[in-house]
Structure 1
């Protein structure tokens, strides 16, 4: 009888795609190309870590579009994260303890409720995380999705993945263009999204209810996927996602290939290579030693983000602003877009003079003229040199510069896209993060870039602040802890419904009105409310919109 029952149990295991039917009681999933064994956590969440979604992008696959995933035999462990993708050398990025980095890095993680057994009737909404890092490093610190699954009352499936950055993901040249190997990092993202569409049902997720959520360059990626193929991808390039959440949204300059060819030429020179075949023949260590940023031609300093997407005539047919103005975007996906009150404070350098301001901006955007810069300096002349609660002395022009950069690359991106998409009938919800942490304010960062992360993931599951690592006001007992529930409820409601943040918002949280004529939600402890874009903001954003052909945003 015991043998008979065991056989029945194994038959049941085969009848569903997710099985926790082995001697160790750890869940297994058969994806066709591999059978992975994950971990059953004590809180009722199963996690599968470090699963491949594409072939290793090494050797002849280096600088190529993601290739079909390889077959793996036997039971493959999915109990630890895969390697993170290699950053541009010289950046101050330190991976989490015990985490390595490698060129072989195309891995995906899944967190799902153990009760979700892969039967269609029980399929749950899926939230797919796209990490930031400015396309030069992958700040995927292996966020633990357990907290969001718990916050959803075991009602969502969380997915995160790696994608190539720096030259591995965004090298551009005439040779690569002829081969069709441009914007590889974005294509990695789309390959991961296709993997979700094909396999997430086996983890109890609904492939027809997928919401992208992100921060920083990940949020910019959500916008770039909204623009992809002008909103009308060919069937072979289509990816299935329903809505997107993009706070701290940042867009890079998107140049033409010929404007970025110099990066490829520098890499050839640094490796003593003469062509792409040679670059692919090198070992990873040799490539990584040559992997650094270079100044724009005619500039002395390396820009903050030297690598990024380019116009390729297919995925991206122009700069983001051009495509927005031309209506070249998907018009059926609701979006949350947002920024913090002082996005630029972690990026701006100490600036004592107007010339210091101009030098910083010319390093990032070399096509800006002296007249353009003079206009900008006049527009921002009223920015104060300090703020209440700041306990450090910043240089006289620091906050002017940080506001300029924060507007042009972050805040105005959010409001301009909210306006343009809304006019086309897209449901857009705009926000301003003004959750004040005492330590962040005292250090002069006010509300820095990506400060929302601890509220989204939960403070015990998110990385530390990029500005003040010890900032802990989102922790239990902290002054901002209540905001964790508010933010998570808006995010989860949006994901469950495919675009409505209000359906299951937190008790006491305000109704979030969609963007029509400048409306946005201001997130602030004890003061979360709807507000309108300020007239001064609109004037500043109008300037950057006028200059978008020169910033290439």
Structure 2
């Protein structure tokens, strides 16, 4: 694995693994799924266990027969160090973690047929920061590359994307240089010579330095003018994306994983301390959106009132209210924009089974477990839609559920698929579209 937050790892880490059912040269080439791992862009590693991650998708039916690719990519300061010094150095790259992923896609296009994969039927997929990676690759090089055909993003974690030389980005570079003893005019040369452990420790310290404020984690993609040329909000509006078909999932209350836990109680809790009061909410909101003017802060409150409703829930607590704001900014509107920008069609789904927190849906498709056997109908319906999309580009083409069970509506019907405790259904996007349009209009000051 590559150097991590809490595990050393190795700089010699850029390799990948392949997994599929047996294949011989006289058989047809299989659809390919390139899987990017999550971890907030600060940690993570590819799956090389048997059975690997996502095996339940392969195992959901006999018609599910694809080849999975599991690549490593660099994270934290090793994969996402911004700053003018990096941009101006001809031997350095911004967003090298994204370039690692791009290299995998180029390798796949050139060589995967030798392993039984069809280079003309490639899907990119990931969850959390893996889903954010999918968004990045869809935007890569102005959306003009032709390295894959389908893209799926599960709860795509798309943190605020600053210009590489913005104050926020430059402060992060300067702080890393200072913490590694490399501050000064030759800081980048010093960082290149620094011990891996020294950089890892400094990177780990900085990774949550803005938690519960402007950003959950400090490391992530930046607008570099080369690979990432414009923000997601603009690129998806203009159709500057590289995919024919897109399918995205988001979870109803997954924003709550990333906001101050103190919002749940009447007395101060956490560090920094927050509580469920309106005053505490206001403090957090201004910290989360420091670029917003007072009129825009008030507009946020109107879109997310103290007592409100979404496509799937009603709420009346500060905790859920703040969670919905975070969810829409960092996870759900990116998913909505992404799925709506595909050239030939897109689909959106919402996982609303309690507790519907971040990654709670992975029990159905990440690893084999008892719930897939105890509730086979839901497993086949939900996970089967993933498999159908990977195989055909349509989550309904190989539908495993009965005709009376809701399939996945196309996004152009202004509806989403809903997986809830009572079964599967669809919901009109009465609220999400308006909220995401507000965020698109104000995106430059988020930035997103």
Shared topology, TM-score over 0.5?
yes
Change (3 A) 1:141 1:365: farther
Q: Indicate conservation of the 8 Å contact 1:87/1:165, yes or no.
A: yes
Q: Does the residue aligned with 2:123 lie in a helix, a strand or coil?
A: strand
Where structure 2 has 5 or more consecutive residues not aligned to the other structure, the ranges are 264-275
Deviation at 1:295, TM superposition (A): 9.2
Partner of residue 373 from structure 2, selected from 476, 496, 503: 476
Higher relative contact order (CA 8 A, sep 6+): 2
Deviation at 1:427, TM superposition (A): 0.7
Structure 1, residues 118-141: CA drift from partner, whole Å, max 9, x if none? x27431111111111221222656
Partner of residue 416 from structure 1, selected from 321, 332, 337: 337
Change (3 A) 1:371 1:136: farther
Change (3 A) 1:276 1:227: same
1:397 is aligned to 318
1:231 is aligned to 143
Partner of residue 507 from structure 1, selected from 370, 392, 401: 401
Alignment partner of 1:138 is 2:44: yes
- Higher percent of residues as helix: 2
Change (3 A) 1:131 1:400: same
Q: Indicate conservation of the 8 Å contact 2:250/2:349, yes or no.
A: yes
Q: Does the residue aligned with 1:290 lie in a helix, a strand or coil?
A: helix
Alignment partner of 1:339 is 2:270: no
1:107 is aligned to 15
For the residues of structure 1 that align with 2:11 and 2:59, how far apart are their CA atoms?
A: 33
Q: Indicate conservation of the 8 Å contact 1:254/1:552, yes or no.
A: yes
Structure 1, residues 1-26: CA drift from partner, whole Å, max 9, x if none? xxxxxxxxxxxxxxxxxxxxxxxxxx
For the residues of structure 2 that align with 1:168 and 1:225, how far apart are their CA atoms?
A: 19
For the residues of structure 1 that align with 2:212 and 2:414, how far apart are their CA atoms?
A: 39
For the residues of structure 2 that align with 1:101 and 1:455, how far apart are their CA atoms?
A: 29
Q: Indicate conservation of the 8 Å contact 2:37/2:127, yes or no.
A: yes
1:171 is aligned to 81
1:327 is aligned to 239
Change (3 A) 1:363 1:164: farther
1:378 is aligned to 302
TM-score by length of 1: 0.69
For the residues of structure 2 that align with 1:231 and 1:203, how far apart are their CA atoms?
A: 27
2:419 is aligned to 523
Alignment partner of 1:282 is 2:282: no
Structure 1, residues 451-473: CA drift from partner, whole Å, max 9, x if none? 2212123443xxxxxxxxxxx7x
Where structure 1 has 5 or more consecutive residues not aligned to the other structure, the ranges are 1-82, 90-94, 437-445, 461-471
Deviation at 1:550, TM superposition (A): 1.0
| Stretch of structure 1 that moved more, 264-273 or 368-377 | 368-377
1:122-521 matches, cutoff 5 A:
122-138=28-44, 140=46, 143-153=52-62, 155-178=65-88, 179=90, 181-233=93-145, 240-259=147-166, 260-273=169-182, 274=184, 275-292=187-204, 294=206, 303-330=215-242, 332-349=243-260, 350-351=262-263, 352-383=276-307, 396-419=317-340, 421=341, 425-436=343-354, 446-460=355-369, 474-477=371-374, 480-497=375-392, 499-508=393-402, 509-521=405-417
Deviation at 1:324, TM superposition (A): 2.0
Deviation at 1:533, TM superposition (A): 0.7
For the residues of structure 1 that align with 2:438 and 2:68, how far apart are their CA atoms?
A: 39
Change (3 A) 1:296 1:245: closer
Change (3 A) 1:514 1:183: same
Moved over 6 A (4+): 295-300
For the residues of structure 2 that align with 1:335 and 1:267, how far apart are their CA atoms?
A: 37
Change (3 A) 1:519 1:342: same
Deviation at 1:321, TM superposition (A): 0.7
Change (3 A) 1:243 1:321: same
Which structure has the bigger radius of gyration? 1
1:86 is aligned to 3
Q: Indicate conservation of the 8 Å contact 2:162/2:222, yes or no.
A: yes
Change (3 A) 1:452 1:326: same
Deviation at 1:476, TM superposition (A): 2.4
Q: Indicate conservation of the 8 Å contact 1:489/1:504, yes or no.
A: yes
For the residues of structure 1 that align with 2:259 and 2:103, how far apart are their CA atoms?
A: 34
For the residues of structure 2 that align with 1:202 and 1:525, how far apart are their CA atoms?
A: 43
Deviation at 1:516, TM superposition (A): 0.8
Question: CA RMSD of the aligned region, Å?
Answer: 3.0
Deviation at 1:171, TM superposition (A): 0.3
Q: Does the residue aligned with 1:87 lie in a helix, a strand or coil?
A: coil
Structure 1, residues 303-334: CA drift from partner, whole Å, max 9, x if none? 3121111111121112111222233223x520
